[in-house]
């Protein structure tokens, strides 16, 4: 799973390729590489690790060539070494690949049996050999690729160049995204429109199974049966400027601080404050007919789904099930005719979620998607797009996308409740009022940043951390643990506070900090009882609550974080802030790479 870009330019392309890769680093950053076809030769530069290592190499040694392809990698087959870095050169062919070739082993065995040798452990090199073999047998580049594509199983987006033809890049996609960009005397290929934004706004999205012959003078696109097809050219409208960190040390910090603004932006497109109503975009189906909701997502987005289950069931009395997308299809879910399938995704490209969406559609289920990237595959494929307006999220650990997704989930829950006849106008007006209070409450939560930074050093020394919550704050506890794990590498677990006594309490001693998320309200006392069970065993508690809750139960805690008093519905949005800040400051105290933690990628486009 990786990012790819190709340029057929009118001057040297290496620098522009690297600029494109910068926008694709969210797809992986284990290694990066660039290759050009120049003067009858294939030139290449690759480097292990972050893109800056490649940029440094290219700064020392210019890579000439007006035609090139480039790649940023998230390792699947083979360690993140330079040998495994793309582009891979096989004879006269050079290629980059995003995805996984699932049948690479038998293909590799076939090629090995013919005496072909491999220079990497990647599945990609197998594709290169298959194409090179066709070329060696006399096939044109077009014929070679056409012969090889049907042999590949799995998911791929490919960009392939040939030493013999510096005016050609062949692209192909199946299960991984690939777009064609149209320029002035130049043409491009890329994993997404964002990568191509500084080069062109004119984008055509390739369909599943499409492949394309990209030349400077024009682009020919073929479908999976090799019929020539036209794919509409759309204007991406994506800014060419790279997003910067502003005054912040990390993107994650900047994105945590942006939340009051982007949540307000998101809410403003779902709330009709004057009419005191919640409104969704126009849709072609009747929400009132929904009898069940199946929510599917991965990672942080899946916890939005888990919180949504509480909200939808409480407000609309419609049963909800939530699955992590990698499990969904394989458990053969029962999807009835009046089920609404709901996917949640920041990127709109996560392979597991996309596959689940397609499965739901194939089962005839009406689908909706809470999605941040409006040009993404999921955004284009859902029946009802419920956009979040978080803006580009760069930090790998999701923060502002999470709270914007929650804002949309709250609006959806209220709409569904109204459509089911379960939300009186007065109650709806109250919900709207509570939701409009969220940005200010988030600002109040942010004002505790310095205190949270102060306690981060204590947590940074821990080996294990537990997070506890009840009701909708239980999935928030799971999210808190995920945030801490992914950026500080400290082992953390989230638990339903009441479940502690059924096992995890055995872990408690004075070395295990326990973060308790407990807004005052109907579940407060029960959560506090569970917290006291921890304290009775020497556990060190950090209690996150409002003034009322802290006055009641703050005594004896290692630390407390005071939140504004909010309605239980919006508590997860507001309490997300200290949870994110805590993970952030612990990671900074530990000196980890906050924005690009090891082994992770922002958008995981392999299953």
Q: Does 603 bind ligand G6P (CB under 6 A)?
A: yes
Q: Among this protein's residues, is 602 annotated catalytic?
A: yes
Q: Does 604 bind ligand G6P (CB under 6 A)?
A: yes
Choice between 199 and 354, CB closer to ligand G6P: 354
Q: Provide the minimum distance between the beta carbon of 250 and ligand G6P in the complex, in angstroms, as a whole number.
A: 15
Q: Provide the minimum distance between the beta carbon of 477 and ligand G6P in the complex, in angstroms, as a whole number.
A: 16
Choice between 95 and 373, CB closer to ligand G6P: 373
- Quick one: which H or E segment has residue 445? helix 438-446
Choice between 45 and 603, CB closer to ligand G6P: 603
Determine the distance from the C-alpha atom of residue 468 to the mean position of all C-alpha atoms in its chain, rounded to a whole number: 25
Q: Which two tokens stand for residue 535?
A: 């304290």
Choice between 131 and 407, CB closer to ligand G6P: 407
> Residues near 314 by Cβ (< 8 Å), separated by ≥ 6?
none
Q: Does 324 bind ligand G6P (CB under 6 A)?
A: no
The C-alpha atoms of residue 28 and residue 605 are separated, in whole angstroms, by: 10
Q: Among this protein's residues, is 50 annotated catalytic?
A: no
The C-alpha atoms of residue 312 and residue 416 are separated, in whole angstroms, by: 8
Point out which span in 124-132, 178-186, 297-305, 540-548 binds ligand G6P (CB under 6 A). 297-305
Choice between 183 and 374, CB closer to ligand G6P: 374
Q: Is 75 helix (H, G, I), strand (E, B) or coil?
A: coil
Q: Provide the minimum distance between the beta carbon of 356 and ligand G6P in the complex, in angstroms, as a whole number.
A: 11
The residue within the footprint of ligand G6P, chosen from 347, 377, 399, 415 (CB under 6 A), is 347
Q: Provide the minimum distance between the beta carbon of 299 and ligand G6P in the complex, in angstroms, as a whole number.
A: 3
Q: How far is CA 158 from CA 96, 187, 535, in A?
A: 6, 16, 56
Q: Provide the minimum distance between the beta carbon of 296 and ligand G6P in the complex, in angstroms, as a whole number.
A: 10
The residue within the footprint of ligand G6P, chosen from 253, 353, 367, 520 (CB under 6 A), is 353
Q: Which two tokens stand for residue 145?
A: 């690729």
Please confirm whether the linkage preceding 338 is cis (ω < 30° from 0): no
Q: Does 346 bind ligand G6P (CB under 6 A)?
A: yes
Query: Helix 51-60 to helix 14-24 angle, to the nearest 10 degrees?
Result: 170
Point out which span in 63-71, 328-336, 390-398, 562-570 binds ligand G6P (CB under 6 A). 390-398
Q: Does 124 bind ligand G6P (CB under 6 A)?
A: no
Q: Which two tokens stand for residue 61?
A: 């040694």
The residue within the footprint of ligand G6P, chosen from 187, 253, 300, 520 (CB under 6 A), is 300
Q: Provide the minimum distance between the beta carbon of 377 and ligand G6P in the complex, in angstroms, as a whole number.
A: 11
Spot the catalytic one: 309, 400, 420, 602: 602
Q: Is 141 helix (H, G, I), strand (E, B) or coil?
A: helix
Choice between 271 and 409, CB closer to ligand G6P: 409
Choice between 333 and 369, CB closer to ligand G6P: 369
Q: Does 377 bind ligand G6P (CB under 6 A)?
A: no
Task: Give the number of other Cβ atoms within 10 Å of residue 147's Cβ.
Answer: 15
User: Binders of ligand G6P among 231-250, rule CB under 6 A?
Assistant: none
The residue within the footprint of ligand G6P, chosen from 67, 124, 345, 520 (CB under 6 A), is 345
Q: Provide the minimum distance between the beta carbon of 334 and ligand G6P in the complex, in angstroms, as a whole number.
A: 24
DSSP state of 120: S
Choice between 352 and 562, CB closer to ligand G6P: 352
Q: Provide the minimum distance between the beta carbon of 324 and ligand G6P in the complex, in angstroms, as a whole number.
A: 10
Q: Does 298 bind ligand G6P (CB under 6 A)?
A: yes
Q: Which two tokens stand for residue 325?
A: 């997308």
- Quick one: which H or E segment has residue 104? helix 104-113
Among candidates 398, 436, 447, 399, which has minimal Cα distance to 265? Answer: 436
- C-beta nearest to ligand G6P: residue: 299
Point out which span in 40-48, 218-226, 339-347, 421-429 binds ligand G6P (CB under 6 A). 339-347
Q: Does 299 bind ligand G6P (CB under 6 A)?
A: yes
Q: What is the DSSP string of 285-330?
A: S-GGG--EEEEEE-HHHHHHHHHHHHHHHHHH---EEEEEHHHHGG
Point out which span in 265-273, 341-349, 544-552, 555-563 binds ligand G6P (CB under 6 A). 341-349
Q: What is the DSSP string of 338-405?
A: TEEEEEEESSS--HHHHHHHHHHHHTT-EEEEEES-TTSHHHHHSSEEEE-------SSS-SHHHHHH
Q: Is 32 helix (H, G, I), strand (E, B) or coil?
A: strand
Q: Provide the minimum distance between the beta carbon of 197 and ligand G6P in the complex, in angstroms, as a whole number.
A: 19
Point out which span in 4-12, 239-247, 345-353, 505-513 binds ligand G6P (CB under 6 A). 345-353
> Residues near 499 by Cβ (< 8 Å), separated by ≥ 6?
none
The C-alpha atoms of residue 557 and residue 202 are separated, in whole angstroms, by: 57
The residue within the footprint of ligand G6P, chosen from 13, 18, 396, 587 (CB under 6 A), is 396
Q: Provide the minimum distance between the beta carbon of 406 and ligand G6P in the complex, in angstroms, as a whole number.
A: 13
Separation of first and last alpha carbons in the chain: 9
Spot the catalytic one: 2, 309, 404, 540: 2
Point out which span in 217-225, 293-301, 452-460, 524-532 binds ligand G6P (CB under 6 A). 293-301
Q: Does 408 bind ligand G6P (CB under 6 A)?
A: no
Q: Which two tokens stand for residue 203?
A: 């984008």
CB 178 within 8 A of CB 172: yes
CB 366 within 8 A of CB 341: yes
Query: Count residues contacting ligand G6P (CB under 6 A)?
Result: 16
Alpha-carbon torsion (206, 208, 212, 218), positive or negative: negative
Among candidates 509, 479, 506, 483, which has minimal Cα distance to 494? Answer: 479
Q: Provide the minimum distance between the beta carbon of 592 and ligand G6P in the complex, in angstroms, as a whole number.
A: 14
Q: Which two tokens stand for residue 169?
A: 């890049």
Choice between 256 and 318, CB closer to ligand G6P: 256
Q: Find residue 70's DSSP bridge partners.
A: 5, 34
- Give the catalytic positions in this structure: 2, 602
Binding site for ligand G6P (CB under 6 A): 298-301, 345-347, 350, 353, 396-398, 600, 602-604
């Amino acid at each position: 799973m990786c990012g790819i870009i190709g340029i057929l330019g009118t001057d040297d392309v290496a620098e522009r390729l690297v600029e494109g890769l910068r926008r694709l680093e969210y797809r992986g950053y284990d290694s990066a590489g660039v290759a050009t076809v120049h003067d009858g030769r294939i030139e290449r530069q690759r480097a292990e690790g972050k893109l800056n290592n490649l940029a440094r190499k290219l700064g020392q040694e210019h890579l000439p060539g007006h035609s090139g392809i480039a790649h940023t990698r998230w390792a699947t087959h083979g360690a993140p070494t330079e040998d495994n870095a793309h582009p891979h050169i096989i004879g006269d062919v050079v290629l980059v690949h995003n995805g996984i070739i699932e049948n690479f082993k038998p293909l590799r065995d076939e090629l090995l049996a013919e005496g072909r040798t491999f220079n990497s452990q990647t599945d990609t090199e197998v594709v290169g050999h298959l194409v090179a073999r066709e070329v060696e047998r006399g096939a044109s580049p077009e014929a070679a690729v056409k012969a090889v594509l049907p042999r590949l199983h799995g998911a791929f987006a490919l960009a392939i160049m040939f030493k013999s033809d510096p005016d050609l890049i062949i692209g192909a996609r199946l299960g991984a995204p690939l777009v064609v960009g149209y320029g002035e005397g130049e043409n491009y290929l890329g994993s997404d429109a964002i990568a191509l934004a500084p080069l062109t706004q004119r984008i055509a999205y390739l369909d599943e199974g499409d492949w394309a012959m990209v030349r400077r003078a024009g682009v020919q696109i073929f479908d999976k049966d090799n019929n020539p097809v036209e794919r509409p050219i759309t204007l991406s409208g994506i800014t060419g400027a790279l997003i910067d960190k502003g005054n912040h040390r990390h993107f994650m910090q900047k994105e945590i601080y942006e939340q009051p603004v982007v949540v307000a932006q998101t809410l403003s497109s779902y709330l009709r404050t004057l009419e005191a109503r919640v409104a969704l975009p126009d849709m072609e189906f009747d929400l009132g007919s929904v009898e069940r909701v199946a929510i599917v997502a991965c990672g942080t987005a899946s916890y939005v789904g888990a919180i949504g289950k509480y909200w939808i069931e409480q407000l609309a009395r419609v049963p909800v099930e939530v699955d992590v997308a990698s499990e969904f299809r394989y458990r053969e879910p029962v999807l009835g005719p009046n089920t609404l399938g709901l996917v949640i995704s920041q990127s709109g490209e996560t392979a597991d979620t996309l596959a689940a969406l397609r499965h739901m559609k194939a089962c005839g289920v009406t689908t909706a998607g809470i999605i941040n990237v409006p040009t993404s595959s999921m955004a284009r494929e859902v029946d009802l797009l419920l956009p979040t307006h978080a803006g580009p999220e760069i930090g790998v650990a999701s923060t502002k996308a999470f709270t914007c997704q929650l804002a949309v989930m709250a609006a959806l829950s209220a709409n569904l409740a109204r459509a089911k006849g379960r939300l009186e106008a007065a109650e709806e007006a109250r919900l709207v009022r509570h939701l409009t209070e969220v940005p200010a409450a988030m600002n109040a939560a942010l004002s505790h940043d310095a205190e949270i930074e102060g306690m981060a050093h204590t947590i940074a020394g821990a080996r294990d951390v537990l997070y506890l919550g009840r009701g909708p704050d239980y999935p928030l506890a799971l999210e808190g643990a995920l945030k801490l794990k992914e950026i500080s590498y400290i082992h953390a677990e989230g638990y339903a506070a009441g479940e502690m006594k059924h096992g995890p309490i055995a872990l408690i001693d004075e070395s295990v900090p326990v973060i308790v998320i407990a807004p005052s309200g109907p579940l407060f006392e029960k959560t506090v009882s569970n917290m006291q069970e921890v304290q009775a065993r020497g556990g060190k508690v950090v209690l996150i609550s409002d003034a009322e809750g802290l006055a009641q139960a703050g005594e004896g805690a290692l630390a407390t974080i005071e939140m504004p008093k909010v309605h239980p519905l919006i508590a997860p949005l507001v309490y997300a802030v200290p949870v994110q800040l805590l993970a952030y400051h612990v990671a900074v105290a530990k000196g980890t790479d906050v924005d690009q933690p090891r082994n992770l990628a922002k958008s995981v486009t392999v299953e």
